[in-house]
A and B are shown apart, each in its own frame.
Chain A
Amino acid sequence: KAGVTQTPRYLIKTRGQQVTLSCSPISGHRSVSWYQQTPGQGLQFLFEYFSETQRNKGNFPGRFSGRQFSNSRSEMNVSTLELGDSALYLCASSLEDGRRDTQYFGPGTRLTVL
């Protein structure tokens, strides 16, 4: 079974631009979570989607948004990029419930904001 895939793997943007990251979960998984990882803040939860609905959101500004499609694929968008948004963005999928079901992670998208 194919794992979680994320595209693109690397991205370089400038301040003020916007970016969209994509995540395809493991086949049969309906829950998708997004995390931001930085050296200073570690791993931080962004949001979780299930059945096209956002079930929970972390403590991030409104510039960070996401959505999930009917095939469980998910995208996250960051608008008006800031230097501090440079990070590794990780997507994870789980069967139905990210609390009790194991979350499997993709390789991440490394975003650099100049």
Chain B
Amino acid sequence: AQKVTQAQTEISVVEKEDVTLDCVYETRDTTYYLFWYKQPPSGELVFLIRRNSFDEQNEISGRYSWNFQKSTSSFNFTITASQVVDSAVYFCALSEGGRDSNYQLIWGAGTKLIIKP
């Protein structure tokens, strides 16, 4: 069965520190997609990145970087030089692309990130 685990419930760091949010997933499909979303206090889920199972290349976007490792079924997210505006709940999600899969995202429980000034 498909599952996403974000073991870190809450992380608190001081501004300018680097922080890594962990995401471990389970799926039996060979084709799947992984996502990260950010949910600020306003509630709207903001898309950050999508990765498909055939692309293990790591990605960097400004202060954000993602490390996708199929060998450990992990898709971790690192924020470099964190800022107060990064404070939010971050969700990792999985969708399976097989013919019999559901048309839904499977969500992790989320990690609440607090950046202190």
A→B interface (CB under 8 Å): 31, 33, 35, 42-45, 48, 50, 55-56, 58, 88, 90, 92, 97-100, 102-108, 110
Contact flags (1/0) for B77-117 with A, using CB distance below 8 Å? Answer: 00000000000000100011100011111010110000000
| Known interface pairs A102-B35, A107-B42; A42-B101 also in contact (CB < 8 Å) | no
The interface stretch among B10-18, B45-53, B61-69 is B45-53
Q: How far is the CB of A39 from chain B (nearest CB, A)?
A: 10
Per the bound structure, the CA–CA distance linking A31 and B102 in Å amounts to 13
**A102's contact among B44, B50, B103, B104, by CB below 8 Å, is which?**
B50
Count of chain B residues with a beta carbon within 8 Å of a chain A beta carbon? 23
Residues of B within 8 A of A106 (CB): 44
Counted as pairs of residues, one from A and one from B, with CB atoms less than 8 Å apart, the total is: 63
**In chain A, what residue has the closest Cβ to B33?**
A100
| In contact, A99 and B42 (Cβ under 8 angstroms) | no
**B104's contact among A42, A45, A104, by CB below 8 Å, is which?**
A45
| In contact, A99 and B101 (Cβ under 8 angstroms) | yes
Residues of B within 8 A of A58 (CB): 104
Residues of A within 8 A of B96 (CB): 99
**B110's contact among A33, A42, A99, by CB below 8 Å, is which?**
A42
**A58-B104, A110-B43 known; 12 other A-B pairs, CB under 8 Å?**
A33-B104, A42-B110, A43-B91, A56-B102, A56-B104, A98-B105, A99-B95, A99-B97, A99-B102, A100-B33, A105-B45, A108-B43
**B44's contact among A43, A48, A105, by CB below 8 Å, is which?**
A105
| In contact, A98 and B43 (Cβ under 8 angstroms) | no
Residues of B within 8 A of A31 (CB): 103
| In contact, A97 and B43 (Cβ under 8 angstroms) | no
Residues of B within 8 A of A92 (CB): 45
Which 8 interchain pairs have the tightest Cβ spacing?
A: A45-B104, A105-B45, A43-B107, A48-B103, A56-B103, A99-B95, A107-B44, A98-B103
